[in-house]
Amino acid sequence: MSQQYLIPTYARQPLAFVRGEGVWLFDENGDKYMDAISGIGVCNLGHCHPAVSRTLAEQAGQLMHTSNLYRIPAQEALAQRLCDISGMQSAFFSNSGAEANEAAIKIARLYGNRNGISKPTVLVMEGSFHGRTMATLSATGNSKVQEGFTPLVEGFVRVPFNDVDAVAAHADNKDVVAILVEPVQGEGGINIPDAGYLKGLRQLCDQNDWLLMVDEIQSGNGRTGHYFACMGDNVLPDVLTTAKGLGNGFPIGACLVAGKAEGVFGPGTHGSTYGGNPLGCAAALTVVNTLTDEVVDGVAGKGERLKAAFEHALSDVPLVTEVRQKGLMIGIQLDRPCGELVNSAREAGLLINVTAGSVVRLLPPLVISDAEMQTLVDDLSAVIRSFANAQEVA
């Protein structure tokens, strides 16, 4: 087997996994690895959760796909379940997070045009990540991922993250129709805003008749200790997007709307061939029903214990400047680029990710046990300590 027939858009690790169970993955040689990144925040219930696997097998044997030209009962049930949980009013289903954010951006533009704004503009945040389609790439606040793809899609104005005053400064811009924001920036380096930030944005949106659009692609589905992170701030957005953990490995995304965004889309304004088909919705419905309050409620405590354990284990490593945490979104900030930690951790049996160049990002499955958390702390701290010692010698 060879990768020569694959377009090399990924810097792949020299691993091929053949089996998964909970927080663990097993490679072709039978070697065992802890997946501390959950397939980048996807497998919140762990790999091959029995209820999800059983649902997929049963549904695949009955009906996998019908188009959205027909009613899909599982889609209706999933939409109701997500709306009941979040307080939103209705849902559009897609295949991915990027497509969910594309739907949000189209809602903002349609909302603006219907209100007589010919150049609808969305305020987006520095350091954000919203996807790799052209519109979501243009909305993203990372110039590195935009390099070579100009001209970008117009209609986005970037402002500093966690700065309500910087957003308020655009109140006189009559082209602004919406704010698009992540409650916690994941790809940007686990950046956690101050308490009250989302509420401040909600207030500005209400004052200026803007839409508040919250990107919960990574922070949703229990990841921060609430089903959606904005619920922890008691903020109801006009648009809420989610994906990743929604299918626990099956690709599905959703764009939920409420308030001023309800009724913007109608027949013919948007669509998706595969989005919300019977197989995807059956899987997601099982995920949502399995992510019980007990599982979600335990996330905050697990995250706080992990943060405290890492702070203690790495307290004498001067390269580590901060441990940031919201639920089970954890960022270990180093004072220098540390991408090579990914390889070192892999050799120690840990799958991690380094983002923003110098932040070790951890998104372990929400079902991780206390014993597994201790293994993660012990093994990763040893890897970081070894990296720090090597830096001192160099």
The pLDDT of residue 2 is 81
Residue 1: pLDDT band (50, 70, 90) is low
Residue in this structure with the two tokens 């957005």, named with its chain if needed: 237
Average pLDDT of span 340-361? 97
Structure tokens at 318: 């001067």
Cis before 151 (ω within 30):
yes
Nearest-angstrom CA–CA distance, 361 and 37: 7
pLDDT digits 0-9 by tens, 243-289: 999 999 999 999 999 999 999 999 999 999 999 999 999 999 999 99
Taking the CB of residue 270, how many other CB atoms lie within 10 A of it? 18
Phi, psi of 232 (to 5 degrees): -70, -20
Which string of DSSP letters, residue by residue, matches 212-237?
EEEE-TTTTTTTTSSSSHHHHTT---
Average pLDDT of span 309-332? 97
Residue 353: pLDDT band (50, 70, 90) is very high
Residue 185, pLDDT > 80, answer yes
Average pLDDT of span 189-200? 98
Residue 191, pLDDT > 80, answer yes
Which string of DSSP letters, residue by residue, matches 170-201?
TTT-TTEEEEEE-SSBTTTTSB-PPTTHHHHH
CB 152 within 8 A of CB 134: yes
pLDDT digits 0-9 by tens, 109-143: 999 999 999 999 999 999 999 999 999 999 999 99
Nearest-angstrom CA–CA distance, 175 and 278: 39
Alpha carbon distances (Å) from 212 to 22, 34, 36, 153: 35, 37, 32, 20
Q: How far apart are the first and last CA of the chain?
A: 38
Show Cβ contacts of residue 161 under 8 Å, excluding neighbours closer than 6 positions: 125, 126, 127, 128, 141, 181, 185, 188, 191, 193
Closest Cα partner for 45 from 289, 282, 254?
Answer: 289
Residue 293: pLDDT band (50, 70, 90) is confident
Average pLDDT of span 4-26? 95
Residue in this structure with the two tokens 């910087």, named with its chain if needed: 166
Structure tokens at 177: 């129709």
pLDDT digits 0-9 by tens, 22-58: 999 999 999 999 999 999 999 999 999 999 999 999 9
CB 368 within 8 A of CB 330: no
pTM score, whole prediction: 0.97
Nearest 10 degrees: Cα torsion 278, 284, 290, 296: -160
Show Cβ contacts of residue 171 under 8 Å, excluding neighbours closer than 6 positions: 204, 207, 208
Nearest-angstrom CA–CA distance, 377 and 320: 14
Residue 105, pLDDT > 90, answer yes
Question: Three-class SS of residue 355?
Answer: strand
Helices of type H across the chain: 38-41, 50-60, 73-86, 97-114, 134-139, 143-146, 164-168, 197-208, 229-232, 278-290, 293-313, 341-347, 370-393
Buried b (16+ CB within 10 A) or exposed e, 356-394: bebbbbbbbbbbbeeebbebbbebbbebbbebbeeeeee
Structure tokens at 195: 């308490």
Structure tokens at 343: 């390889």
Average pLDDT in the chain? 97
Three-state SS string over 152-168 comes to CCCCEEEECCCCHHHHH
Residue 85, pLDDT > 90, answer yes
The pLDDT of residue 198 is 98
Average pLDDT of span 327-342? 97
Least confident stretch, 117-121, 193-197, 233-237, 290-294: 290-294
